[in-house]
Amino acid sequence: MSVSRPPFYVTTPIYYVNDKPHIGHAYTTLACDVLARFKRLDGFDVRFLTGTDEHGQKIEAAARAADMEPQAFTDRVSESFRSLLGIMNYTPDDFIRTTEPRHKTACQDLWNRLVERGDIYLGSYAGWYSTPDEAFVTETELVTGPDGVKRAPSGAVVEWVEEPSYFFRLSRWQEPLLEFYRTHPDFIAPESRRNEIIRFVEGGLTDLSVSRTTFSWGVPVPGDERHVMYVWMDALTNYITALGYPEQDGDYARYWPADIHMVGKDIVRFHAVYWPAFLLAADLEPPKRVFAHGWWTNEGEKISKRLGNIIDPVDLVNTYGLDAVRYFLMREVPFGNDGDFSHRAMVGRVNSELANDLGNLAQRSLSMIAKNCGGQVPQPLEFTPDDEVMLGAAQAMLSAVRAALDRQAFGEALETIWVVVRQANAYIDRQAPWVLRKTDTGRMGTVLYVLAETVRRIAILMQPFTPNAAARLLDQLACKDDARAFGALEPSVRLVPGTELPAPAGVFPRYVDPESAETK
């Protein structure tokens, strides 16, 4: 009888296609990819969604500036986001575009549900609007600079807009939202973002303008096509569009509510206030969790087009290698905090941790097996207390890594693994199998078996983070494809003595700066 696999639905925000992907896009999708890969290996029925947000005034203006029709413009830019999936070795199950017919159907059905429940009404909007942010700005949020120009909190210039508009009765959902936050304490993370959102909602919610008439590039309002939907109502609906909504059986019943929406901290309000309010008003379940991560700086400077210091993830991969980039982004800063990218920090992580710590551990262990054990997994003799401690530490990693990733603590998960990597390096130095080769070959074989088994467990757990390098390492341990999921980390599963191993080869090369030709 087959065992039912629990569902797990993880999403990136859909990315706005007014420009090509940058490190922020790569970072968010990488975090989701690590979670998706981990959960698949852990026996879950995973659904991983990403895609592009292609409507709105900003897109219409960008297309006009490029002398293109909006659809042709979005086709081109959306493809650059799709191509990043292969470059970064991401594994989504679906890539959604908001210009697809299925999405128009979903948006209009959600709109009609809100109308039927009395939560959308026609009025007129007069207020400040930030086109770059695609957001309405209240008087209390306005920032007036020395030049007298009014700006949004993001720094974008706002414009005064007056036009007919449909409104969503957001004010009606202030207390229900606060109650939802109280009864679902893990809904918003990290804690700093949860506190920020609660303060915002407690400060009072006003009804939200959810349609525009001054441009036409969007989903038409059903029954009144002079209006297009506010781009955020359109964009947020993608998470259920991809599950077949408005049908509520099939994938929708299987995966909704989402286990986690991963977003940048700049869009947490849309996901943690507007989105659950829309869903509650439509009598649909909100997602289980919204996690808002921080921003990256570049060598200590804020990233901006004006400074010309935008970090291209493709350039990073071409410079340092894919697995090194994936590792660094998940390792360098606690997830949820802001982080700084620097060449020095990147090279430090690559050379110190990947090459020296894990790379040398694997290379030393497997090379000694190749030279001294006939290229086969050695037959261990009785394990000493030191051996048992090492094997126990390797075996305990899974539960600790699992707990960390369930909190989106990616750096903590990697540190859990690295504690064992460092412990194994201390173990090999302490046991000195190169000395035992001359004095006690049986003991040498036991030590090398413990090391190989430890490396196997490390490599299995590293698959979500550095999939290519981990696969090569598992190849060198002759682990078959069906022995790489987390079932192979059960206490009863270990390397089989006598298994033929291929010739070992390094999997984590050191980075050599091409300008100096010296390893940094």
The tens digit of pLDDT for each residue in 383-392 reads 999 999 999 9
What pTM value is reported for the model?
A: 0.93
pLDDT, position 1: 37
Q: Can you tell me the mean pLDDT for 485-496?
A: 96
The whole-angstrom separation of Cα 284 and Cα 276 is 9
Containing H/E element for 54? none
Beta strands in 87-169 (DSSP E): 94-97, 120-130, 135-137, 143-144, 150-151, 159-168
Which of the two residues, 440 and 295, has the higher pLDDT score?
440
Q: Can you tell me the mean pLDDT for 95-99?
A: 97
pLDDT at 451 > cutoff 80: yes
The token pair that represents 388 in the structure block: 């048992």
CATH number at residue 380: 1.10.730.10
Binned at pLDDT 50, 70 and 90, residue 153 comes out as confident
Domain for residue 110, yes or no? no
pLDDT, position 304: 65
With b for 16 or more beta-carbon neighbours within 10 A and e for fewer, the 14-41 pattern comes to bbbbbebbbbbbbbbbbbbbbbbbbbbb
| DSSP one-letter code for 246 | T
Packing angle of the helix pair 23-41, 70-87 (nearest 10 deg):
50
pLDDT, position 353: 97
Containing H/E element for 392? helix 385-406
pLDDT, position 2: 47
How much of the chain is helix, strand and coil, in % rounded to 5? Answer: 50, 15, 35
pLDDT, position 443: 97
pLDDT in tens, 416-443: 999 999 999 999 999 999 999 999 999 9
Contact 330, 30 (CB under 8 A): yes
Which residues, 6 or more positions from 4, have their beta carbon under 8 angstroms from its beta carbon?
none
pLDDT at 306 > cutoff 80: no
Domain for residue 495, yes or no? yes
H helices of 242-290, where?
Answer: 250-255, 268-269, 275-281
Sign of the four-CA dihedral 352, 353, 355, 357: positive
- Give the number of residues written for the chain: 520
Share of the chain above pLDDT 90, in %: 80
Number of Cβ within 10 Å of residue 12's Cβ equals 22
pLDDT at 226 > cutoff 50: yes
The whole-angstrom separation of Cα 25 and Cα 275 is 21
Strand partners, 260: 10
pLDDT, position 69: 94
Question: Taking the chain, what is the end-to-end CA distance rounded to the nearest angstrom?
Answer: 55
Range of the domain at 414: 343-519
Query: Strands 260-264, 7-11: parallel, antiparallel or unpaired by DSSP?
Result: parallel
Which residue, chain included where needed, has tokens 């036991």? 446
pLDDT at 252 > cutoff 50: yes
pLDDT at 307 > cutoff 80: no
Binned at pLDDT 50, 70 and 90, residue 508 comes out as very high
Please state, in angstroms and as integers, the Cα–Cα distance from residue 486 to each residue in 38, 102, 149, 430, 454, following that order. 9, 36, 57, 30, 14
pLDDT, position 298: 82
Binned at pLDDT 50, 70 and 90, residue 515 comes out as low
Binned at pLDDT 50, 70 and 90, residue 305 comes out as low
Q: Can you tell me the mean pLDDT for 235-259?
A: 98
Q: Can you tell me the mean pLDDT for 156-185?
A: 95
Binned at pLDDT 50, 70 and 90, residue 520 comes out as very low
Lowest-confidence region among 8-17, 297-306, 312-321, 414-423 = 297-306
pLDDT, position 19: 72
Please state, in angstroms and as integers, the Cα–Cα distance from residue 77 to each residue in 19, 350, 411, 417, 467, following that order. 7, 32, 32, 38, 27
CB-based burial label for 308 (10 Å; 0-12, 13-18, 19+): exposed
The whole-angstrom separation of Cα 416 and Cα 400 is 7
Q: Pseudo-torsion of CA 224, 230, 231, 232, nearest 10°?
A: -130
| DSSP one-letter code for 315 | H
pLDDT at 382 > cutoff 90: yes
Strand partners, 337: 335
| DSSP one-letter code for 140 | G
Domain for residue 96, yes or no? no
Which of the two residues, 296 and 55, has the higher pLDDT score?
55
Average pLDDT, the chain: 93
pLDDT in tens, 109-146: 999 999 999 999 999 988 888 888 878 888 888 888 88
Please state, in angstroms and as integers, the Cα–Cα distance from residue 428 to each residue in 172, 261, 362, 382, 386, following that order. 64, 42, 11, 17, 11
Domain count, the chain: 1
Which residue, chain included where needed, has tokens 């959960």? 39
With b for 16 or more beta-carbon neighbours within 10 A and e for fewer, the 146-176 pattern comes to eeeebbbeeeeebeebeeebbbbbbeebbee
Q: Can you tell me the mean pLDDT for 369-375?
A: 96
* Residue 411: CA count within 13 A, CB half-sphere: 12
The whole-angstrom separation of Cα 400 and Cα 421 is 15
Domain for residue 512, yes or no? yes
Strand partners, 500: 376
| DSSP one-letter code for 240 | H
Which of the two residues, 41 and 22, has the higher pLDDT score?
41
